[in-house]
A and B are shown apart, each in its own frame.
Chain A
């Protein structure tokens, strides 16, 4: 058997391959993105990017109904989008095995919230598995498919950033092809009219009871007796590793891997044999509340924080009560280094112009969220995928209804618009909203690392695909004032915004188009420098926040290693002091 070094995401992809999955769908989102990216490399598996998580899940449900083994993956907030099919899917159940991966982001490394998606399992009434490392991530895909087919249920597969993006050694095996199961028309199972759904609700109850029995014997739920049987720790996922790291085999551990339904008898018998029980889990008291409801006395969140990521040193300090000694204190009064828009980023000039507009700017999820930071600081709000257009619409209407007025501008990316901006724009058209909606089209899903979407002309396997036209969609929705400008042309963009401000009969759309500066072969060309004889040191160019433009004392200069030649700064300098000096 071969040993390889995989991230949790690569291991899940490998699991999908080894255990006979033939259909995979996803929408990119950190920390889940690489699951589908890696699955797409296997020619044996059909793999696609869907426009959003709801569509991805529904497509996977269709594949499962057809009898195939299917996997769908998304970040934690993506499951909110897919929640509608999820809850009724629990009633219908599946045909071919179906695994739904949710990758949560405790600590919000790259997310807008840190919701704990373990709560979805009891809420939606579907079983859940949680791997603790990459080996388990791979193996449990097989277990999840087995459970899924045995109980005709979808299985929730929950990871966190430290599982998805940590590498560990994995023993890999051969692919075991799974034969497609026959599809037999069965309306009472698949067509959820109320009469049929009521029957399925009863079947679901029985299923959950049977699954609880299964959980009792599931070998991945296991007790590791320690030298000390006074203290027992119940844990799951990455928290298990932190417990072992800090305590080794000093304490006894109940490692839970199937965390819904919980193996109640196993938990009760473990709790009986030890004197004191602690529950060690990241984020919500998910296990703790259920175990307490069983009438078992445990300590959890009074010791372990419920906010942010867990770490071994938190356990060492709070649970082992060891003092963590730090020999060298980090220097606190040093400049921080938040992420920034890249040199040549097509979003930069857009926000520079918007800042001058004195408008309310509702924005969205993507690289352009960075337009919230100084020096651009042009964004008023960021909530969730697609909210920019609908929030702007609501803001404008509420102002009008109360006799107030302000220009309202919304900013959304191309991938996000296709994800869930279209229905919002429909609302703005239908209800005659005088908002200005800017689609910043960099022709890729950039923030998550350049994934294709239905507008790029390529599919998940990098094969040519039909490209949907953003302008055609907007026009078809009934937007009368649609214009397309080059994001690098600040005057054209500013003129388009001013024109839209005068358009008073329904929403306007400005598509500001320019490929992401990091896209191979599509970035700008050229090298610019400050002509120091002409430069008046007004520092207006610094308001762009381009990392290539720097000051040293009084001197303003462009770092030739960083400049990519977008020429946006040239348009900003009032004295014509920035000049082209090369072709890069």
Chain B
């Protein structure tokens, strides 16, 4: 199988690392060659964070090239528009409809752009906008927004649903397994 690439962007503390762990564990379990790259340290203090995942028969680079990601999974709107150059005209943008104002906006120095969703909808033909926070809240745990988004992604990529549920059982702490599975399934079932 040709190599596929999933680019995840978000804000430090949003659960992108756990999302990456669940996705890659499921892909490794299915026998793919997988590489994943993430950055630790300073960026995790509320900064912009990215995780890059590549899988297929044989993967060399852990980094995705610009214009070559199959999917950009953006956990936040500003973190989507920063990285859309990684998409090709045929790739898919999964966008969490969430606004997390950075420091300059919180303090009123800059404004949060209000036209992101309509602009992206105009530009990108394969775009899925999800309100993962609302769905996660309905599941009873806002922090499970990451699993809602993983559910949407798994459906888009045509990954095995059961393989993911199995992995969530393995890697999530027992107390939160059920709520995470519910969140994943709600994402999977979204009619997109």
Contacts and interface: CB of A to CB of B under 8 A. Distances in A.
Interface stretch (B39-47, B149-157, B172-180, B181-189): B39-47
A311 B42 contact: no
B45 A311 contact: no
Nearest to A375: B107
Given A245-B60, A342-B45, A166 B34 contact: no
Given A327-B89, A331-B113, A3 B40 contact: no
Contacts of A547: 46, 103, 106
Given A241-B62, A542-B106, A109 B41 contact: yes
B134 to A, nearest CB: 14
A344 interface: no
Contact of B85 (A312, A326, A339): A326
A165 interface: yes
B45 A367 contact: yes
B135 interface: no
A337 B35 contact: no
B61 A241 contact: yes
What interface size band does chain A fall in?
35 or more
Contacts of B85: 326-330
B163 to A, nearest CB: 14
Interface of B is mostly: mixed
B15 interface: no
B34 A110 contact: no
A531 to B, nearest CB: 19
A446 to B, nearest CB: 9
A74 to B, nearest CB: 14
B164 to A, nearest CB: 15
Query: Chain A CB within 10 Å — which of B41, B48, B142 has the most?
Result: B41
A168 interface: yes
Contacts of A328: 84-85, 87, 123-124
A547 to B, nearest CB: 6
Interface string A42-70: 00000000000000000000000000000
Interface in B12-66: 12, 24-25, 28, 33-48, 59-63, 65-66
A426 interface: no
Contacts of B84: 328-331
Given A313-B65, A337-B102, A110 B43 contact: yes
Interface string B79-112: 1011111011100000000000111111110111
A19 interface: no
A316 B64 CA distance: 12
B40 A551 contact: no
Contacts of B78: 334-335, 337
A5 B34 contact: yes
Interface string A436-480: 000000000001110000000000000000000000000000000
B66 A324 contact: yes
Nearest to A243: B60
B81 A331 contact: yes
A169 B62 CA distance: 12
Interface in A300-344: 311-313, 316, 324-331, 334-342
A166 B37 contact: yes
A165 B116 CA distance: 32
The contact size tier of chain B is 35 or more
Contacts of B105: 335
Interface in A329-368: 329-331, 334-342, 367
Nearest to B53: A167
B71 to A, nearest CB: 14
B73 interface: no
A238 B63 CA distance: 10
B119 to A, nearest CB: 8
B11 interface: yes
Contact of B25 (A5, A31, A370, A539): A5
B140 interface: no
Contacts of B62: 162, 166-168, 238, 241
A233 interface: no
Nearest to B119: A331
Interface string A152-195: 00000000011001111100000000000000000000000000
A110 B106 contact: no
B67 A326 contact: yes
A122 to B, nearest CB: 28
Interface string A2-20: 0101000000000000000
B42 A245 contact: no
B103 A545 contact: yes
Which interface residue of B34, B59, B61 has the most chain A CB atoms within 10 A? Answer: B61
Nearest to A325: B67
B42 A339 contact: yes
A378 interface: no
A373 B34 CA distance: 37
A311 B65 contact: yes
Nearest to A335: B110
A162 B40 CA distance: 11
Contacts of B116: 331
Contacts of B61: 241-242, 244-245, 312
Contacts of A110: 39-43
Contacts of B42: 30, 109-110, 339, 447
20 contacts: A5-B24, A5-B25, A110-B39, A165-B40, A166-B36, A168-B35, A168-B62, A241-B61, A316-B65, A327-B85, A327-B87, A327-B89, A328-B84, A334-B78, A335-B112, A339-B12, A340-B46, A370-B45, A542-B106, A542-B107
> What 9 pairs across the A-B complex have the smallest Cβ distances?
A110-B41, A30-B41, A339-B47, A245-B61, A339-B45, A166-B62, A337-B102, A331-B81, A245-B60
Given A169-B33, A542-B106, 11 more contacts: A31-B40, A109-B39, A109-B41, A110-B39, A133-B35, A165-B39, A169-B28, A334-B113, A337-B11, A338-B47, A447-B41
